[in-house]
Amino acid sequence: MKKFLLLALLAAAPAHAADLKGVLKERGTRKPLGGVNIYVLPDKIKAVSDPEGRFEIKGVADGDFQWVVVLTGYERLERKDSTAIASQGEVELFLERSTYFGYETTVYGKQKKRDAQTKSLSREQFATLPGSGGDPVKAVQNFAGVNRAASFDAQVLIQGSGPQDTRYTVDGHEVPVIFHFGGLSSVIFPEALDRVDYLSAGYGPEFGRAMGGLVGVWTRPPQTDRYHGLGYIDIFNAGLLVEGPLTESKNHSLLLSARKSYIGEVLRPILDDNDDFNLTVAPGFADLTGIYQAKVTPRDDFRVVTLASEDTLEFLLKQPADQDPEFRGDFSTRTAFFRVIPQLTHRHSPRTTSRWSLAAGKSWIRVENEETFFRLGVHGFTFRGEVERKMVERKRLKWTMVAGLDNSYRWATVDLSLPDFQDAGGVNNPFSVGERRQTQVSDEYPEVGVFMRNSVEIGKLTLIPNVRFDHVGFTDEQYVSPRPAARYLLMPGLELRTAGGLYYQPAEEWQAAPDTGNPELVSPRAWHLTFGAEKDFRETTGHAFTLSGDVFYKALQKLVTSSTRTVERGGELVPENFQNDGKGRVYGFQTNVRYDQKPWMASLAYTIAKSTRWSSGRPEYPFAYDQTHLIGLIGSYEVGSWKFSSRFRYSTGNPFTPVTGGVFDSDNDVYIPTRGAFYSERFEPFLQLDLRIDHKWVFDTWILSAYLDVQNVTNRKNPEQVIYAYDYSKRTTLSGLPVLPTFGLKGEF
């Protein structure tokens, strides 16, 4: 029958016919579309595009005709043409996607999660998640159990732990900061990333030295199909990204990106009106990312990631600050780092793969205010390596083993002149009062981590007996940390899970230094235990819901607390500075409900938790970041080239220590606070509603996007900090960000 129709069509072909050539691409991105049927009407001639999107159609009758292309996920293409024009060269047909929200989707292979305690967001997910402005780390803050410390603090809090208990990594290697100043943006171009991972209670043995958890971003290989570019501009900053293949073979590719902020240039004219304040270097940040990828052999992939980031701010206080005369004169701060991270993945066999990476770089943190300064320079290497082998692959038994290293070696130089800073109960004494400490320290800080992960799948049960060994050089400690986990598939789509273990976190270097700290400190530690379940209704019912819930418990021991005691060390009476007598516990429940069926997406994250601390002589009190209820509700709706999204956040107000009075220090002209019961009062709850509208204009060869992002739409004054009268007889609160509208434009091809 088909042959008959074909013969009939050929017979009907006119004597004068044209041969047409063309290429089919995706509109806006120029991505070639292969394997697609292209029809010419009314001749009813069909061609199929090759992998490069090219096609050829012979015997089209002279005159006008119509192209018709239909492909799932794309708008139907109907375009009128004539053979006189179309036969003069290669015709370009552009097929428009049904939706363009999210960067162009390129699937690099689904990331198989090693454990249930690692939650990942792919680039497409974090780019489109409402309320995060496309930023990967801000998107993580939408997970249950995660919150930010303060509105202008960039730190991430994980399940009742402190901000200092979260580590940040790029491709598995630690970086000193993950956010630029004030939490405006993370330090790496979002579109250069493959995914962001969030590791919570019970996380696996590959990482350590963090009692709370870890936020890690992972870079992606540059695209090799063609050259791509992206540029954006908004009221805070602008950025540019280019990528593409370096050779015809496409075995080598490169991605380069850069961003720079100019918020300070906006602020400078406003602040320069102040007689006592002179903004000498406006607050700003810049970052650079380079990714080179080479397919060295069919078994070896080589990548080099180069990352640099800088945040700066300088101003002049012409007269002593009202609150504390210690603050006066030039103030400057600079946080910068760079890393060069070569990485090699070698597939030894279908069952064995090894991954090796080395990060070399330097970090600078400088805070200076006249005689008060802290200058830290850290050179160093971090090395990660792991070998993954599928030991057994039977129908009823699968065993995968991963053995690896997580080492670092750093040389740090600290030059500081700081008043001894007391913030007992989160209430700081005026800097003027603190005894000034001046020192210059250069030292080496070797750290060794060895880990082994095993995943033994026996039918529906997966046992994950993991262990990690750590050596902390500067405190000369060795630790073994068991971290077992298990999963059980109760029924299709419903998985039960548990995990736990021991987590050490070395004391900060300056806390254990002889001059500024206590060399007898040991590493604080936390025991984690978590149970949970996850139900994916999409697998069994076709409903677009996923639901998960976990209970978690953490016992914290040997926490570092400040000490005002004087002790004998080396035959002299010296300040103890710090001790290991802090303890704490955290327990809670968190749940995530997500509905995802286009054009709608909605997600609810809820956490209820209690986090407390205590030490000798100080009974149990709420932790500074004890947030009983955390609610995050996000939703979005897409219609045509418009997308509307919203985020609502609620959290119980942080506890704070009330100040009951003050004692006047006549030498320094300030009052010293008298603290009440630690963290016995709370701020008003934090509530914030954010709205965002995105619109895209899709042209044949590029896409223009515009967005309006309004944070804190209701202009709610969320109290973030208590400020007191000079003698602590009265108080008021300092509010977080007011309503903050941002407008931006982005072009990409």
Which residues from 165-184 bind other proteins, rule CB under 8 A? none
E-only strand ranges, 327-351: 329-349
Q: Which of residues 627-686 bind other proteins (CB under 8 A)?
A: 663-669, 672, 674
Q: Which of residues 276-305 bind other proteins (CB under 8 A)?
A: 276
CB-nearer residue toward other proteins: 122 or 161: 161
Classify each residue of 555-591 as buried b or exposed e, where b means 16 or more C-beta atoms within 10 Å of its C-beta: ebebbbbbbeeeeeeeeeeebbbbbbebbbbbbbbbb
Report the sign of the C-alpha dihedral through residues 187, 190, 193, 198, in that order: positive
Apex 242 CA angle, 238 and 243, nearest 5: 150
Least gap, CB of 736 to other proteins (angstroms) = 11
CB-nearer residue toward other proteins: 32 or 183: 183
CB-nearer residue toward other proteins: 690 or 720: 720
Interface with other proteins includes 266 (CB under 8 A)? no
Tell me which residue has tokens 């995105």. Answer: 694
Least gap, CB of 172 to other proteins (angstroms) = 23
Q: Which stretch binds other proteins (CB under 8 A): 247-255, 423-431, 600-608, 699-707?
A: 423-431
Q: How many residues are listed for the chain in this entry?
A: 749
Interface with other proteins includes 273 (CB under 8 A)? no
Interface with other proteins includes 363 (CB under 8 A)? no
3-state secondary structure of 57: strand
Q: Given 3-state DSSP classes, what are the helix, strand and coil percentages for the chain, each rounded to the nearest 5? A: 10, 60, 30
Query: Which amino acid would we find at residue 46?
Result: K
Least gap, CB of 579 to other proteins (angstroms) = 13
> For other proteins, which residue of 387, 441, 467, 737 counts as binding (CB under 8 A)?
441
Residue 528 and residue 503: Cα distance in Å, rounded?
Answer: 8
Neighbour count for residue 487 (Cβ, 10 Å): 20
CB-nearer residue toward other proteins: 355 or 366: 366
Interface with other proteins includes 508 (CB under 8 A)? yes
Q: Which stretch binds other proteins (CB under 8 A): 379-387, 462-470, 491-499, 566-574?
A: 566-574
Residue 133 and residue 112: Cα distance in Å, rounded?
Answer: 26
CB 285 within 8 A of CB 180: yes
3-state secondary structure of 433: helix
> For other proteins, which residue of 143, 510, 552, 606 counts as binding (CB under 8 A)?
510
Least gap, CB of 723 to other proteins (angstroms) = 4
User: Closest by alpha carbon to 319, among 263, 377, 278?
Assistant: 278
> For other proteins, which residue of 227, 600, 699, 726 counts as binding (CB under 8 A)?
726
Q: Which of residues 81-140 bind other proteins (CB under 8 A)?
A: none
What CA dihedral angle connects 684, 685, 686 and 691, to 10 degrees? Answer: -120
> For other proteins, which residue of 151, 159, 422, 530 counts as binding (CB under 8 A)?
422
Query: Which amino acid would we find at residue 56?
Result: E
Residue 55, φ and ψ in degrees, nearest 5: -150, 160
Interface with other proteins includes 715 (CB under 8 A)? no
Q: Which helix (H) or strand (E) holds 138?
A: helix 136-140
Two structure tokens written together for 646: 């919203």
CB-nearer residue toward other proteins: 163 or 635: 163
> For other proteins, which residue of 302, 338, 374, 637 counts as binding (CB under 8 A)?
374
CB-nearer residue toward other proteins: 77 or 376: 376
CB-nearer residue toward other proteins: 194 or 324: 324
> For other proteins, which residue of 397, 734, 739, 745 counts as binding (CB under 8 A)?
734
CB-nearer residue toward other proteins: 16 or 730: 730
Residue 633, φ and ψ in degrees, nearest 5: -125, 120
Residue 126 and residue 136: Cα distance in Å, rounded?
Answer: 5
> For other proteins, which residue of 93, 199, 378, 418 counts as binding (CB under 8 A)?
418
Q: Which of residues 310-349 bind other proteins (CB under 8 A)?
A: 318-325, 327-328, 331, 333
> For other proteins, which residue of 234, 420, 534, 536 counts as binding (CB under 8 A)?
420
Residue 165 and residue 201: Cα distance in Å, rounded?
Answer: 12
Q: Which of residues 198-227 bind other proteins (CB under 8 A)?
A: none
Interface with other proteins includes 385 (CB under 8 A)? no
Q: Write the CB contacts of 570 (distance below 8 Å, at least 6 apart in sequence).
A: none
Q: Which stretch binds other proteins (CB under 8 A): 138-146, 284-292, 421-429, 603-611?
A: 421-429
> For other proteins, which residue of 448, 724, 740, 747 counts as binding (CB under 8 A)?
724
Neighbour count for residue 356 (Cβ, 10 Å): 16
Q: Which stretch binds other proteins (CB under 8 A): 9-17, 150-158, 187-195, 344-352?
A: 150-158
Least gap, CB of 478 to other proteins (angstroms) = 27
